Structure formats: structure tokens, C-alpha cells
């Protein structure tokens, strides 16, 4: 897959940290550290520009360690990178803790999962097929 990098020498390309990992960790590309105060959100650049093949998307997801230890999440998770997007891949970080969090340059702040997807075409219809579930939802099947 094609990737264009700003400051290529600065950070390694996003990597799978283990052989069967689904997510490539994304690093913050910053000129100086960024402070996220409690409940503050900021778009953090990665310095990466990617060209996904047609029929693929990339999802930007939080790292569970940062979420657990620091209350740090990705506000729009899972963020969607469209295959025709040519801008910089950015991460919308949000600090859901009571403490400020400092994002350092090169820190692995989120992960990106690349997946195949379909594009559907609508077929207008007055009737939908019947199912056991029907319109049930929001806990309709109970707890246990
Ligand atoms: O976490 C994200 C989410 C999106 N994007 C980029 C890639 C994506 O293809 C584009 C548009 O994202 P989205 O469709 O989620 O945003 P929108 O608010 O619907 O904007 P647009 O009107 O540009 O589609 O922004 C990112 O870099 N990071
Ligand atoms: Mg959109």
C-alpha cells in the first residue's frame, strides 16, 4: 500500500507490534508536546498520507493501555479513513480523565486497522423480510 511520509527520518513507519496484530500503531508527529486538559479534544497529526486500495478503509481506534491508564480515547472512534482521502491521517484524541495528559512527539497514540468494505446500492421496497427479531432491540433479548 502506498504511503507518503512527512519527516520520514523522524519516526518509523506504523508497525504491527506482534506477528498477528490487527492494528498498526500510529505515532504523533509534533513539533512540540501537546497538552490535553481534562475533557479537551485535539486533532493530532501523524505526518502520514496513505493511498488505500479501492474497497478498503482504515479505522482509527484508541489504544486500550492509554485508555485504561490515562483515560485517553479517540473521540470519533472508530475514525474512518476513506480510500479516496489524500490528506494527512489525523487522530482526534480526547482526555476523559481528571488529569492533564501530555502528548509527546513520536508517542504511539492510537492504532489503525485496515479492512475491506462493501459499497451497497439501494433497492427501494415497501416490504422488508420478516425475522425472529423483528423490531426488537435495545436489550429485548434480556440480560442472561
Ligand atoms: O479519525 C479520522 C477521521 C477522518 N479522517 C480523515 C480521513 C477521512 O476520509 C476524512 C473524512 O472523515 P469523515 O467522513 O469521518 O468526516 P466528515 O465529518 O464526514 O467529513 P467529510 O465531509 O470531509 O467527509 O477525514 C482522519 O484523518 N482521521
Ligand atoms: Mg464524511
Looking at this predicted complex, what is its ipTM?
0.98
Per cent of the chain over pLDDT 90 is 93
The 10s digit of each residue's pLDDT in 28-42 is 999 999 999 999 999
Q: How many CA atoms lie within 13 A of 32 on its CB side?
A: 1
Alpha carbon distances (Å) from 29 to 5, 38, 114, 121, 141: 10, 22, 20, 38, 46
Calculate how far, in angstroms, residue 22's C-alpha sits from the geometric centre of ligand 1.
21
Calculate how far, in angstroms, residue 82's C-alpha sits from the geometric centre of ligand 2.
8
Regarding the beta carbon of 8 and ligand 1, being less than 6 Å apart is answered: no
Q: Is 109 annotated as a binding residue?
A: no
Residue 7 has pLDDT above 80, yes or no: no
- Report the predicted TM-score, pTM, of the whole model to 2 decimal places: 0.94
Per cent of the chain over pLDDT 70 is 98
Q: What's the CA gap between 86 and 44, in Å, rounded?
A: 16
pLDDT value, residue 8: 60
Amino acid at each position: 500500500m502506498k504511503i507518503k511520509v512527512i519527516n520520514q527520518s523522524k519516526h518509523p513507519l506504523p508497525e504491527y507490534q506482534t506477528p498477528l496484530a490487527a492494528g498498526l500503531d500510529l505515532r504523533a508527529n509534533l513539533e512540540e508536546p501537546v497538552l490535553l486538559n481534562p475533557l479537551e479534544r485535539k486533532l493530532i497529526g501523524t505526518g502520514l498520507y496513505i493511498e488505500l486500495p479501492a474497497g478498503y478503509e482504515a479505522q482509527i481506534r484508541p489504544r486500550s493501555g492509554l485508555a485504561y491508564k490515562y483515560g485517553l480515547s479517540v473521540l470519533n472512534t472508530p475514525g474512518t479513513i476513506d480510500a479516496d482521502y489524500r490528506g494527512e491521517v489525523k487522530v482526534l484524541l480526547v482526555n476523559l480523565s481528571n488529569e492533564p495528559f501530555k502528548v509527546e512527539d513520536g508517542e504511539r497514540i492510537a492504532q489503525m486497522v485496515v479492512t475491506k468494505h462493501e459499497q451497497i446500492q439501494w433497492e427501494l421496497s415497501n416490504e422488508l423480510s420478516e425475522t425472529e427479531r423483528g423490531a426488537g432491540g435495545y436489550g429485548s433479548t434480556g440480560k442472561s
